[in-house]
Amino acid sequence: MTDRGYFPEGSSILRRVHSERAVGLFYGQRALMIGALNPLAFVGTIEHTNARLKPFQRLAHTAEVFETIFFGTRKEADGALAFVHRLHERVKGEMPEDAGTVSAGTPYSAFDPELMLWTLAVIADSGPAFYELFVDRLSQREQEELWQEYIRFGELFGMPRDVAPPTHREFRQWWDAKLHSDEMYLTNEAGQIGYSTAFEIPLPSVRAPAKAVHDLIMLGSLPPRVRELYGIPYSPRQQRAFRATVRAMRGVRPVTPRVIREGYNTGSFRLVARTERKRLRGGRQTPQAA
């Protein structure tokens, strides 16, 4: 039997959403920026990865792992999942200090079901957000199918199914309540790294015009609550520019060859990682643009 992967082409809506290169280039940064609002999740990441010193190499590697699971065979996906599982076995500890509603000494673990749900949720909010911006609105049926596949994605990492809201409607209710709750708290370090992840992606200077467009889209895509917590202004002028940029991108999509608009983003991820490595070798602070 042919190994078509966990999310087969032609039948998986998750694959359809994430195969859009425009989605793949944006959703991870937005997800990590929002994810940093959960102090336990942020500390678990920052204390047990190289996210402080090499944030974009970590981001690029994570994005490649996810695309392997989205698009690869089951054998390829299982290899990536086994690698991630070994990394997650080391992610456990206690909060070093109070952070909002989280008290010092609160334990965390990469295998905590609630933290696994949060990690999945920021992806499940960000992926469709960019698909609907750049491609098309999803119907209620498609939203439900996509949420069920996101749950399946979470299960592949060990998330218990029963921790997730069972329907897309319940997920959106849970998400909105979570995002507006007192549990969302931005430490100084989370604010710096979360913002840098989204808006200070390291790229060669020749890519400066593209980066300006990237930053505008990222800004406009964020929920107002997230911009509020980060203290990021969003002026009427920026709103108009954002809407115009999105209209332009949607307009060119139908005439863009499928081979260009869909597929892996490996080349782009590795360009970012190489630029960060180059900056570090030159003694320059990452993640500022080159």
**Residues 6, 152: Cα–Cα separation, whole Å:** 9
Query: 250 near 163, Cβ under 8 Å?
Result: no
> What integer pLDDT is reported at residue 218 of this predicted model?
97
Q: What is the mean pLDDT of residues 48-58?
A: 74
Residues of the domain holding 271: 13-281
Does 256 reside within a domain?
yes
Query: 57 near 201, Cβ under 8 Å?
Result: no
Does 286 reside within a domain?
no
The DSSP call for residue 140 is H
Query: 196 near 29, Cβ under 8 Å?
Result: no
Tell me the pTM: 0.93
Does 2 reside within a domain?
no
Q: Which has the higher per-residue pLDDT, 49 or 191?
A: 191
Q: Does position 265 have pLDDT exceeding 60, yes or no?
A: yes
Q: DSSP of 219-248, one letter per residue?
A: HHHS-HHHHHHHT----HHHHHHHHHHHHH
Does 133 reside within a domain?
yes
pLDDT tens, position by position, 8-44: 999 999 999 999 999 999 999 999 999 999 999 999 8
Element (H, E) at 103: none
In the chain, % of residues over pLDDT 70 = 96
pLDDT band at 98 (very low <50, low <70, confident <90, very high): very high
Does 32 reside within a domain?
yes
Does 259 reside within a domain?
yes
Q: Does position 288 have pLDDT exceeding 50, yes or no?
A: no
Q: Does position 190 have pLDDT exceeding 50, yes or no?
A: yes
Does 49 reside within a domain?
yes
> What integer pLDDT is reported at residue 50 of this predicted model?
64
Does 34 reside within a domain?
yes
Number of independent structural domains in the chain: 1
* Backbone dihedral angles phi then psi of residue 107, each to the nearest 5 degrees: -75, 150
